[in-house]
Amino acid sequence: MVYRDNWINVLTVSSVWCSMVIINNIDDMGKTIINSSNDFFDVGGTEGDVLYSFTGNCGIKSNSVLYGKTINLSEMYDTMLDDALEFLFGGEFVNSSDYNTSNNRKNIMYAVRKYTTKKYGISIESVYNKIQCNTGGTTMTVDIIFNELKVKYGMTGIDWMYLYNNVYHFRTNDVEILEYLSNRILSNEIYGYFVTEYNLRTMGMVKRLNSVNSFKYNIKLEWDNCKMSRYIKLSDMMKSYSHWWIHMTYKNGGLHYSRDNIKEYDLLLNGKSVTEVFPVYCPVFSNLRMNYTGIDFDNGKNNIKKCSEIAGNVNMGETWSFASIDRIDSNKGYSYDNIRIISQYANNLKNVGNIEQMRILLRYMDEQNSYF
């Protein structure tokens, strides 16, 4: 073995064994519970393992149960990754507020550091830096922990969609994870028509300059046999009907302030099925398919033209129109009993004038048509 300060590099399988103890969990009083049965306190190991003696200025307090002990950090880190996976994807991180930040947000790395420190007496970040010989202390980012989990469990061995669905501020620059999530989102039923009819698909990730002059990965979407494409942030891809509803009622600089009192998705459903509340086709024009994706597949004016040509005439086939929230009585505000979801095309026609004005317009149109 070669000693370097606190470090012991295991170059060959060692026959040395020391009686060691580890932190197994924390009792109700916050005291350390000791368990001597864990494998990484057997100082033996395999070639490439890293052993560490917690003495001197080693980053932990002298009253810690780790202080003065020699530990197989490689095995300890491996166990920490098991715990981090269970913590993040098993429900504790999502469902507990114990690991939220001071402003009550879910921050993945903040929570993992806090969780591992509480359980082991040292954070996974500190162990990672000791193994990597990062004496200056590298910040363990979300992308680092994600990559470590991928290496151990494989990309498909982790339910990334669970974390993405349950953490509002989910951020990563891991291209493999971003592509995985975008393809999972495209498998949602709100994209089904466009995947089939427009051949919508993802075409990899592209770094693009955003509004604050920093580069972020965007997903490249293509459709219509590669004739049309769009770059989109993962967060801008509608995941589901509930995500679309949040987007449409979210108060952003007063944009949807009047919709703030209808933002509760469960109250919107109120025992109804999703298809009852979110129609596949427009209730006004039965040949306009509702688009809940937020993606313009026909370049704006082209879609309006298509809708104006065929809306209401089922013999001319179908096209799509963005889904929109309609107030049944336009003189009243947004409330659960005064809204329905119809196509944006129908809603725009409805917003042109009131019912009496539309009757006058229809009479005029009938009179003009009588001359031909």
In this prediction, residue 70 has a pLDDT band, given cuts at 50, 70 and 90, of: confident
Please state, in angstroms and rounded to a whole number, the distance separating the CA atoms of residues 244 and 345. Answer: 18
Pick the more confident residue, 278 or 215: 278
User: Where in the chain are the domains?
Assistant: 2-166, 175-236, 241-360
In the sheet that 319-327 helps form, which strands lie side by side, from edge to edge?
288-291, 319-327, 339-343
**Sign of torsion over alpha carbons 123, 126, 129, 133:** negative
| Percent with pLDDT over 90 in the chain | 54
pLDDT in tens, 158-183: 999 999 999 988 889 999 999 999 99
In this prediction, residue 319 has a pLDDT band, given cuts at 50, 70 and 90, of: very high
Q: Are strands 201-209 and 215-223 parallel, antiparallel or unpaired?
A: antiparallel
**267 is written with which tokens?**
């109250």
The answer on pLDDT for 80 being more than 60 is yes
Q: Please count the helices (runs of H) and the strands (runs of E) in the chain.
A: 14, 12
Measured at the CA of 188, the angle between CA 183 and CA 193, to 5 degrees, comes to: 100
Helix pair 124-131, 108-120: axis angle to 10 deg: 90
User: If you write DSSP's letter for every residue of 164-199 in order, what string do you get?
Assistant: HHH-SS-----HHHHHHHHHHHHTSGGGHHHHHHS-
pTM above 0.85, yes or no: no
pLDDT in tens, 243-281: 999 999 986 655 666 898 999 999 999 999 999 999 999
